[in-house]
Amino acid sequence: MQPPHLLFLFLPILLPGMWADPEEPQVIQYLLTGAFASISSAEVSCIVLLEDIPMLTLDPANWSIHFYWPWVSQVAAEGDGEKIMSQYKIALRNLIRFVHDTVQQTKQHYPLVVQIRLGCVAYPNMTSQGFLNVGWGGRDLVAFEIDKQCWEARQPSQVAELVSESLNRQKSVTVLLEYLLTIWVCQSNFQTVKTYGKEVLERQELPVATVFARTPSRDELLLVCHVTGFYPHPISVAWLRDGQEVPPGPALNTSTILPNADLTYQLRSVLAVAPRDGHSYVCRVRHRSLGTRSLLIPWENRSTAATISITIAVLLLVTTASAGGFWWWKHRKGNEATWETQDCII
């Protein structure tokens, strides 16, 4: 007594894969945006990110600092952090005055957006490189050359010349910046943050993958593999046709990786195929959280059902995989409505 629109739920099949975790550089960055609406107005916002993890933000209304994690306030209270915390409001006021003065001198116009990006990249070979860039109206303006202890223009304009010259005249500031970037941001601050934030940095969330089909026209079938809820960001999603990886080409369209609200990520990979072409299709996902295994989600080509959903409940899948099993569930009539609804939502 098989209903014609039988939908199948496959339990996860995790097979040994080759997901090698590439050692990637780590980045800490302080991002500051100043929105200058007029000579008498400036709104400053700031966020500090370790990789893609927010650590603290500045409230634009009262310049108070919001710490995302309890350990960040500990970091801020240590060593030079304490001194910097006691001085940042003065530095912001000086920055705002400097921007207004520059606008007057160069006869620029409001509204204007100034962006500052400061931080450090730590490479797997244990070297690190500080950086400090300033953008003006959406374009690179000047950058601080740490080795030379000086500011250099990043565009051939009067503003860039004036800003770099006037910043270079303040020798005590360039010496301080060199110290801040190489010793503080790249060494003590970065090390402390990595130590305190170890748990957050090493967080891993398993991908949840769904495979379904769309039929935009009679002779076209789009197989969609939607992968979500994973962390960290690097992932590999591929389609296998009869066990062979489908190479990049016009039939294959993989989206960029998009953020979810809970600091996980999602993406989808769409493969265009001919209906009833006789091939088997499997979506393969590799991710750090899966270790050396792959998540394989087959698409079941049933001519009776226009679209067939196969959803993997990852936790169940992992259990199954560790038992070394390959399972599948039949969904009875009562579940069909749910599955069809899900197809529309996805």
Ligand X SMILES: *[C@@H]1O[C@H](CO)[C@@H](O)[C@H](O)[C@H]1NC(C)=O
Binding residues (CB under 6 A) for ligand X: these are 59, 61-62, 64, 123, 125, 127, 250, 253
CB of 87 to ligand X, least distance (A): 17
C-beta separation of 145 from 156 below 8 A: no
Nearer to ligand X, 182 or 253 (CB): 253
Nearest to 110 by CA among 43, 30, 60, 32: 43
Tell me 287's DSSP state: -
Nearer to ligand X, 65 or 263 (CB): 65
CB of 327 to ligand X, least distance (A): 33
Alpha helix segments (H runs only) across the chain: 70-76, 80-106, 158-169, 171-179, 190-196, 198-201, 314-322, 336-345
Q: Strand, coil or helix: what is 333?
A: helix
Nearer to ligand X, 214 or 279 (CB): 214
Nearest to 211 by CA among 115, 58, 339: 339
Nearer to ligand X, 38 or 127 (CB): 127
C-beta separation of 234 from 290 below 8 A: no
| Number of residues written out for the chain | 346
Nearer to ligand X, 73 or 253 (CB): 253
C-beta separation of 241 from 247 below 8 A: no
CB of 60 to ligand X, least distance (A): 8
CA distance 72 to 84: 14
CB of 24 to ligand X, least distance (A): 10
CB of 274 to ligand X, least distance (A): 16
